[in-house]
């Protein structure tokens, strides 16, 4: 059921962002010019936005928002900073395969940076180093509740699809994994295995051309 809901959400998000992008970009893709604006900071290359983050497995569900501020260094590379606010739940497994029949709820907050390299007009590779703090609430089979706090670094590496027009706006859908493999990573399951991280989002340039 969770997989069906996530698939529907991702499809709806892609369609919504596609319509928004077409409305704002007038069909232009990945256009940029180095002429006429000098070589210093260009305010028309500054953008704000963010995305919806999703991660899921057989027993896990993860959803969050990721506001971001970025800058287009040139026609193929975007960099910036982001913040994370994420909720994750893991249902109890009475078979003791995923966890010892323990229900878990987590709230994660943190931040980091990102770089997106658009090696094709519609495809990009991304690296996102982050540091997150986690508040955990575990409920055991006998009803006992255990609470604790943790923190961990993460490095999400992934590939994405999108449409980008420097000076106008962009939208994207990205799939990645946390390659840092910290035991406290919010992107791991109970056994420490990385879960797929899916993020869909859009950005709007502050000063449109």
d(CA 203, CA 47): 6
The residue ranges of the chain whose pLDDT is under 70 are 1-39, 190, 209
Q: What is the pLDDT of residue 143?
A: 82
Q: What is the pLDDT of residue 123?
A: 97
Q: Using one digit for the tens of pLDDT, what is the confidence trace for 131-151?
A: 999 998 988 888 888 998 999
Q: What is the pLDDT of residue 209?
A: 66
∠ CA 83-86-88 to the nearest 5 degrees? 160
CATH architecture classification, 2-30+42-205: Beta Barrel (2.40)
Rounded to two decimals, the pTM is 0.71
What stretches of the chain adopt beta strand conformation (E)?
A: 46-56, 60-72, 77-90, 103-120, 123-139, 145-165, 169-178, 197-205
∠ CA 124-130-132 to the nearest 5 degrees? 140
Q: Which of 177, 186, 196, 188 is nearest to 107 (CA)?
A: 186
Domain chopping of the chain, boundaries: 2-30+42-205
Q: What is the pLDDT of residue 36?
A: 43
Decide: 74 and 89 in contact? Cβ < 8 Å: no
């Amino acid at each position: 059921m969770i997989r069906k809901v996530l698939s529907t959400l991702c499809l709806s998000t892609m369609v919504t962002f596609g319509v928004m992008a077409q409305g704002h970009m007038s069909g232009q893709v990945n256009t940029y010019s180095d002429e006429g604006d000098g070589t210093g900071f260009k305010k028309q290359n500054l953008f704000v936005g963010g995305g919806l983050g999703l991660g899921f497995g057989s027993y896990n569900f993860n959803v969050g928002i990721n506001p971001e501020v970025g800058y287009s260094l040139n026609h193929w590379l975007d960099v910036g900073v982001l913040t994370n606010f994420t909720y994750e739940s893991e249902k109890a497994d009475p078979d003791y395969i995923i966890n010892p029949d323990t229900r878990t709820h987590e709230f994660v907050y943190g931040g980091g940076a990102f770089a997106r390299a658009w090696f094709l007009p519609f495809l990009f590779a991304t690296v996102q180093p982050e540091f997150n703090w986690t508040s955990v609430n575990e409920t055991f089979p006998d009803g006992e509740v255990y609470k604790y706090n943790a923190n961990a670094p993460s490095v999400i590496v992934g590939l994405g699809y999108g449409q980008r027009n420097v000076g106008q706006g962009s939208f994207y859908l990205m799939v990645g994994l946390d390659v840092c493999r910290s035991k406290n990573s919010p992107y791991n399951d109970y056994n420490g295995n990385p879960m797929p991280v899916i993020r869909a989002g859009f950005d709007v340039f502050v000063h449109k051309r």
